[in-house]
Structure formats: structure tokens, C-alpha cells
Structure 1
Amino acid sequence: MKIGIAGAGLLGRLLAQQLARAGHEVHVFDPAADAQARGAAGWTAAGMLSPVAELECADEDVFALGVRSIELWPRILAQLEVPVEFSREGSLLVAHRGDEGAARRVLEVLEDRMGALGSRLRGNDGGGRGNDGGGRGNDAEPIQRLEAGQVRELEPSVRGPAHAWFIPGEGRIHTVQAMHALAAGARDVQWHWGRAIAAVHAGELQAGEGTQRFDHVFDVRGTGARPQLPVRGVRGEIFFLQARGLELKRPVRLLHPRHRVYLVPRAPDLVVVGASEIESEDRSPVSLRSTVELLAAAHSVVPELAEARIVHSETNLRPALPDNLPVLHSQPGLTRINGLFRHGWLIAPALVERAVGAMTNDE
């Protein structure tokens, strides 16, 4: 089929790569100047793949999509010509002495939801919002409480917190490498850069210069989908620290009464620290408050970061719907995916799998 995609962020690139491999004629439209322009939210993400940890603010479907996506990522990356850093060695939750109450509340939420989901997801094909087809749900391994010696064995650099828990099976992906590799690997795709799409309808993409017609179209524009979808941008800020000689293999998430702070390693010597979550569509540079709070929290987890260098900071807008949950709606000639919020890299591959399956059924 001749397929049009509005949006060249993470979803648009995954769709383009998968659909072109299936033999379709794929056209992608995006207002960015080229494939390297870092406007899409997918560029500004640490790349944690944490379906269990995200249950604190997600639902059953996001969990199932996340578990499925961790299975899909190695297959997708194996299809690309450019290598992408990917690891699945688990993740750590940590808490400081005195914050046990806040940590315990989060852990109780995670454990209760994991227990409730286990029986429903086992052998179930998921489901989803709208008529979006299915996915696959899987059980996750239980969260493990760690003693001090076990923490030092897993992550010698994590010396600040008094309490730690290990979540097996979770992972991370180098988001910038993956964005580059997905665009470079989609050789048969026709990319239309500098072409903003004003509206999307079944079989049609409307741009300033006229209407383009296709057998099927995908709307994955994020905040650009307004006013057709009630999507808003939620500001996020991250820091890139260079710490030569630092030993950190896994994502580390600090359970704190006020902050959501995580540290994600990237080879050879970078650590990504995030992430603020601010109800604002301001894209200006990071604030003093975020800088002080996030970096002080990161230093409290890994004291060796005291001599790290701040090499880069970045802000962007996460696309979110009113309930902060993703939506996939498919009908003949049209598929809309939006509202991935803070779960983009966690759930995008499984959403694309659903979307392509639903398109095939619709057509």
C-alpha cells in the first residue's frame, strides 16, 4: 500500500522502518529541517525501559505494552545497520534513610499492582484503549530487597542511599543513537522534511500546499496533533554528566517524597539525570530549581558524581492526553497514536506492532 505518516519522532520512525520492511511505499512528513533536528520528544529521554517501576503512574495496558516492547527492542535493533546501545540487566530503586515511608508507599503500589495484573495478564492478549487490536501481556519477576553488600556487588558506585531494591528484567536504550539508526535504516522510505501537516483524515494528509492522498495514514504528531486531539505538552528537563571512570551499569531511580529522579548510564562515561515533570509548554533552558534539585539528588545517590562535568542540558515537551495514558485508534484508512507522555521508549514498539496489525485487519 501507499502509506503516509504525519510525524517523524520515535513512533514515526518505528512505523516507517517496519512498514517499509513489509514492502509498503512509505512517505513521512515532518516540520523538522532534517532527520538530525532534535525537536521530537523522543530525543530528550533517558531511555529507561521500566514497566514495573512505571506502574506507579501507569495502568495495566502500559505495563503489558512495556513488557512486550522489551521483547521487541532487540529484534528491531538487529534489523538496523547502525549499532545502538541496549542493555537489559535490571534496574535499581533506592531510598535514603528517613525516606522509608515514602519508599514503602511506592513499593506497595508496585507490588499490589503487579499482583493484581499477574492473573489477568497471564495468557491474555492485552487489549487497549479504543479499537486498537491486541498485544501480549507477561508476568514480571518480583522486586528484590537488597542488602548493602548486594548493592555494592551490583553497582559499586551507588553508595549514598541506605535502602535498595532490584527489579530484574528492566533495561535501557540509548535514545539518540536509536533515533539516528531508525532514520538511517529506513532506506526505502521517502522523507519529506520541512513539511508540516495541518490535519489528518482517513486516507489524507493536509499540508499548506494541498492534500496528499494515501491508502492509509498514521497520525503520530504528538503535540502537533492539536486541535484534532486534546493533547498538551508537559515540560521535561534532563542533564548529561560526564564522569570518567564511573562504574554504573543499570538505571537507578531515587524514591524521594518530593522528586522523581533517575540516573541512566550511557557508554563510555556519561550519565543522564532527569526528570522534571512540569505542567508547562515552556521550551526555554533548564531552570535553577531543577538544576539544583536534580543534580543534588543524583550526587546523593552516587557521590563520585561530585567531580562529574555537566556537558549538556535539554528541555522538551512530552505529549500527554487528559488522563496521561496513551491512545491508539484505528479505522479504515487512518490510525492515530498519541499521549505516550513519559512512556514513549517503554511502549512504542508494542504500540507500533498493534497499529500495523490493526491496519492490516481494517484494510
Structure 2
Amino acid sequence: MTRATVIGAGVVGLCVATELVASGFDVTVYDPGHRPGPHACSWWAGGMLAPYCEGETAEEPVVRLGKEAADWWQAQGVPVTCNGTLVVTLQRDRKELDRFARRTEGHVALDADTLATFEPSLEGRFDRGLMFPEEAHVDPRAALNHLRDRLEANGVRFVAEKGRQEGLTFDCRGLAARDALQDLRGVKGEMVVLRSHDIQLSRPIRLLHPRYPLYVVPRPGGIFMLGATQLESDDKTRTVRSTLELLSAAYALHPAFGEAELLEIGVDARPAFPDNLPRVRKHGQTIYVNGLFRHGFLLSPAVARMAVKAAMGATDLEFMDENHS
């Protein structure tokens, strides 16, 4: 049995380890954080499996490969909520909705009455919207813990300190890999977690705004994740301005969020390459898997499969970058 070491246990590292096990590798994962938690960028993700919505700004491979994500997560036993994504905008920003519709596919236009049947809590607040019925979402923290537990049950060893690495090494360290990947940069994102029992949502809601776009992702127990800012920085300082922007946008979506309980304010820096597309780079016995930008849960399954194929000698993979130095 071929041995492999995965360095990093965020969403990319856990997906790579999962694909390695499925391909018959003997896997060790180096995880100094011991368990998924706030130290990992993946902990602060929205968990949206929304390839069509991401197509507004993302390159074509993000949409095409992202369509595979929901099935992959379900195959691993992770609960996936397949209720689609609802996109709305305030009346003064109606042109934003028209622009979004032109730049995306896979959506259905809704009038006010139809919108209210999907999300009764938003009745009377928006006169139209876009429904992306084939999109889904997961609870990222539950998904990370599930993958970790499943890997351990399948014999994967998790170690907190690096030992002697045997066989192939898969470097999934995120921004920490800038010592080897010089063109990697940080993109800061801040998010807020609220609890409210005065509003119920069945799916992620995207509120379009020319300056402060917002997405709200419902989680069990009246929990809502609000995200996320996007700043060209690897600074992890939580700022008043970004928090106010998120909370103000949430209040504009529904005033009930004004009385919500503020549970968490989180921030981290997402690793990205200049074109915001991921890379699988092979240097000798080390394969670097990085640059997922804001598409961690959406693209990690596809990128993990490519990384394992690269380990087996494939060189014609979509995100393969073997000649980069």
C-alpha cells in the first residue's frame, strides 16, 4: 500500500485525504490544531454549494466543477440541504438583480407572490427575485468534523507534530504555504453569526448591493451566518466597519435581525492565486493543493480528485501546474 502524508486539515486537506483513502493509500494527516476549529480558515466558511451564483464573477471551471460538489458531499455522508439559493435586492438597486441575471444561468425569475411561497418570512419585502433551484448548502463545521471522524474510522492517522514523511506529500496549508508558493496571496473575509427565532429561512439568501453585498446562510437552531467581506489583505483584524456593513445589510434584508443575538464575529484570510483559481502543483514527491479562494467547499472535492490523479502520474488535469517554479 502506497503511503501518503497530508499537511493541513482544513477542507482541502480533509478532501484530499478522503480521496487518497478511496484510492487505496495509507494516509497520515499532519494537523497541529488537533480538531477542526476557529484556527482554520474553513471554520469561517458559509458552506454554500452555489456554482451558478458564483458564475457571476468566477471563471467557467468554477461553475462546471462546482456542480459536482453536492453529490460528493452527500456521498461522504454529510447532510446536504438542497433547497436552492434565493437572490434579492432592494428596490433602489433593481439594476443589480438584472445584471446578476445576465451574468448567471440556472435561475428562475420570481414575482413577489412566488417569492413569498418559498420564504414566507420575506413576504412583502421584495417585489421580485431569482431562484437557483439546483444549488445547495452544508453546515461547514459539521462537515469538517464528519470528514475527520470518517477518516479516523477508516484508519487515517492524525498527528500534531511532523515526523519523518514517507511516500508522497500533499501540502494543503493554505496561506502558510507561501514559503513555497510565491504567487499566493491572502483575501480577507469577515463574517458574523447570529441567532434569531423571529425569522425562518429555508435556503441561503443573497442580497445584492453595489457596495455591500450580503449572503445569509441558515443553520439549525435559529442560527444564521452572515458573510462576507472581501478585502485584498491577509490581515486578520476584526473591524468595526465591516461588522457594521454586514449587520446593516442583514437589517435591510429583514428588521428582525436587528433584535438577533450576536454570537460570533469571525475573520480569516483565504488563499488565492492571481486569477482566483486553484492550483495543483507537483514538485518531486510533494504535491501542493492550494488557492481555493472563497470556493473551498465548492471546489475542494474536484481539486482533491485532481491531486490524487496527479500523484498517479496524470499531467493533463484542469488545475495542474507542473512547470511553475
TM-score > 0.5, shorter chain as reference = yes
User: Structure 1 residues 329 and 64 mapped into 2: Cα distance closer, same or farther (>3 Å)?
Assistant: farther
2:60 aligned with 1:60: yes
**How far 1:190 sits from its partner (Å)?**
1.5
Output aligned runs, 1:1-363, within 5 Å.
Answer: 1-32=2-33, 34-76=34-76, 78=77, 84-111=78-105, 142-159=106-123, 160-187=125-152, 188-195=155-162, 212-229=164-181, 230-284=183-237, 286-330=238-282, 333-362=285-314
CA RMSD, Structure 1 to Structure 2 (Å): 1.9
Structure 2 distance, partners of 1:261, 1:45, is: 14
- The answer as to whether partners of 1:143 and 1:166 remain within 8 angstroms in 2 is yes
Amino acid paired to 1:357: K
Amino acid paired to 1:18: E
- The answer as to whether partners of 2:86 and 2:205 remain within 8 angstroms in 1 is yes
**How far 1:225 sits from its partner (Å)?**
0.9
Structure 2 distance, partners of 1:36, 1:192, is: 13
- The answer as to whether partners of 2:279 and 2:289 remain within 8 angstroms in 1 is yes
- SS of the equivalent of 1:347 reads helix
Structure 2 distance, partners of 1:48, 1:36, is: 18
What is the total number of aligned residue pairs between the two structures? Answer: 310
User: Structure 1 residues 194 and 157 mapped into 2: Cα distance closer, same or farther (>3 Å)?
Assistant: farther
TM-score w.r.t. length of structure 2: 0.89
Deviates more, 1:157-166 or 1:344-353: 157-166
**How far 1:334 sits from its partner (Å)?**
3.3
Amino acid paired to 2:82: R
- The answer as to whether partners of 1:157 and 1:303 remain within 8 angstroms in 2 is no
Of structures 1 and 2, the one with the larger relative CO (CA 8 A, separation 6+) is 1
Structure 2 distance, partners of 1:249, 1:331, is: 45
| Cα-to-partner distance string for 1:255-286 (whole Å, 9 max, x where unaligned) | 111122100000121011010011222212x3
- The answer as to whether partners of 2:10 and 2:36 remain within 8 angstroms in 1 is no
Amino acid paired to 1:103: L
- The answer as to whether partners of 2:47 and 2:297 remain within 8 angstroms in 1 is yes
- The answer as to whether partners of 1:325 and 1:340 remain within 8 angstroms in 2 is yes
Amino acid paired to 1:301: L
Unaligned runs of 5+ residues in structure 2 are 316-325
**How far 1:214 sits from its partner (Å)?**
2.5
Percent identity between the aligned chains?
A: 34
Amino acid paired to 1:191: F
Structure 1 distance, partners of 2:261, 2:120, is: 20
- The answer as to whether partners of 1:157 and 1:304 remain within 8 angstroms in 2 is no
- The answer as to whether partners of 2:85 and 2:133 remain within 8 angstroms in 1 is yes
Structure 1 distance, partners of 2:275, 2:31, is: 26
Amino acid paired to 1:337: V
Structure 2 distance, partners of 1:149, 1:25, is: 55
Structure 2 distance, partners of 1:302, 1:172, is: 21
Unaligned runs of 5+ residues in structure 1 are 79-83, 112-141, 196-208
- The answer as to whether partners of 2:115 and 2:128 remain within 8 angstroms in 1 is no
TM-score w.r.t. length of structure 1: 0.80
Structure 2 distance, partners of 1:260, 1:245, is: 23
**How far 1:85 sits from its partner (Å)?**
4.0
- The answer as to whether partners of 1:328 and 1:336 remain within 8 angstroms in 2 is yes
